[in-house]
Amino acid sequence: MELKTKIDAEDGKQELIITREFDLPLELLFKAYVEPEIVAQWMGTKVLKLESKKHGSYQFETSDANGNVVFRANGVIPEFIPEQKITRTFEMENTPFAVQLEFLEFEKLTESTSKLTMQIVYKSVALRDQMLKLPFAQGLNMAHNRLQDAVKNLNYNNDKAK
């Protein structure tokens, strides 16, 4: 079976490219990135702010089952072209990870299918490799059981350290 989501992380480069084809018209794919309440659903995070426009900004916050905030991220949107392109920064608050730059391109394939190409540029090659290794560092994948457990363990260990 062909994998729906592809990651292209060329060796020695400080970027990676994520591509995915959706069984959705372009209009709906784009909407899923623009409407705060929809973003909240599929990203599994609380959307504190999302101004989908040029020079807009956003802020996400994720809490654990007990309501403790485990993750907060924010960014600005230097470029916003409806149903074509979103360029945004992404920064995880209270982590040592540097801001990353994300170029999202939305393409119509057919009337009912579309494609997303997401290029993420990191501060360094080492940082990119580190991020690849720590997918749960982004903490947004609470729906995924295995990774959710990993985050829970992190919290548990943090609590113990207090």
Residues found near other proteins in the complex (CB under 8 A): 3-7, 9, 11-12, 18, 20, 22-24, 28-29, 31-32, 38, 41-44, 116, 125-126, 129-133, 135-136, 138, 140-141, 143-144, 147
At 145 the three-state DSSP class reads helix
- Smallest separation, CB 46 to other proteins (Å): 16
CA distance 48 to 26: 25
Backbone angles phi, psi at 159, to 5 degrees: -60, -40
Q: Which residues contact 25 (CB under 8 A, 6 or more apart)?
A: 108, 111, 112, 113, 114
Toward other proteins, which CB reaches closer, 55 or 158?
Answer: 158
- Smallest separation, CB 54 to other proteins (Å): 23
Toward other proteins, which CB reaches closer, 14 or 63?
Answer: 14
CA distance 22 to 115: 6
- Smallest separation, CB 44 to other proteins (Å): 8
- Smallest separation, CB 30 to other proteins (Å): 10
Question: Residue 33, Cβ neighbours under 10 Å: how many?
Answer: 17
Toward other proteins, which CB reaches closer, 6 or 53?
Answer: 6
